[in-house]
Amino acid sequence: MGEKEIWSYLLRETGNEYGTAAIMGNLMAESSLNPFCATGKNKTPNYVTDADSGEIDFENDGVAFGLVQWCFHTRKAGLLKFAKQKGASVGAGYLQLEYLVKEMSESYKSVWKAVTEATNIRTASDKVMLNYEKPGTTTEAAKKKRAEFGQKFYNQFAVKPEPKPTPEPSGKKQVMATVNVNLRAGVGKDKPKVGELKKGKTLEVIGSENGWYKVAVYVMKDFVKEV
């Protein structure tokens, strides 16, 4: 499961790019976005397989597991039960994301509100860290690191506005309407009217063609004069 897939899933659920970035920044700090990540002295070589088969006491072994690094016994029990209900492996990335959303929206409602209504990454990131992830280290440096991870994902995946086009050089020539004159989408009176230049108003010229000035649209030379 790639970063883009995780971003797309969480964004669809939260509807908020800042909140999505905040969650992903925390997951990066916890597990490097690896759903198979398992840490703890009781981890077995085939931990996911052993968890799925019931060979280990998944709920109570103290191993931090998955994208979130679930560790507390009731939270791991909930994850395992959810996986069995879905008929999926406890290590499946999409299963874990679905459980994250379920757990956060139902049991950590203040956190869910923070990520769905976020107006910046840092505030939402701190909320996820302190009230959902609850890591052992909650220093300012740790908070900053998670928010920086979130900013990285935001910069990479958030929708950015289209850049405004750079106008063509015009030599700063201007024309002034001598009457109220139509502005058209192309050269010729048959071209669609896209606006009107009022008498006495000016526009900057960016070209000319066949008796017409180009001023982002076109205006007939007969009805304007250079100023």
Q: What is the pLDDT of residue 127?
A: 98
Q: What is the pLDDT of residue 170?
A: 46
CB atoms within 10 A of CB 143: 17
Give the separation between CA 150 and CA 102, rounded to whole angstroms: 21
- Assign domain 3-157 to its CATH architecture: Orthogonal Bundle (1.10)
Per-residue pLDDT of the chain (227 residues; tens, 9 = 90+): 799 999 999 999 999 999 999 999 999 999 999 999 999 999 999 999 999 999 999 999 999 999 999 999 999 999 999 999 999 999 999 999 999 999 999 999 999 999 999 999 999 999 999 999 999 999 999 999 999 999 999 999 997 766 665 554 545 678 888 888 888 878 888 888 878 888 888 888 887 887 887 877 666 777 777 76
Q: What is the pLDDT of residue 114?
A: 98
Q: Which of 127, 145, 107 is nearest to 116 (CA)?
A: 127
Give the separation between CA 209 and CA 49, rounded to whole angstroms: 73
* Domain residue spans of the chain: 3-157, 174-226
Q: Which of 6, 26, 13, 197 is nearest to 121 (CA)?
A: 26
Q: What is the pLDDT of residue 159?
A: 76
Asked if residue 146 lies in contact with residue 133, where contact means CB atoms within 8 angstroms, the answer is no
Fold classification of 174-226 is: SH3 type barrels. (2.30.30)
Q: What is the pLDDT of residue 184?
A: 81
pTM passes above 0.85 = no
Determine the longest span between alpha carbons in the chain, in angstroms. Answer: 89
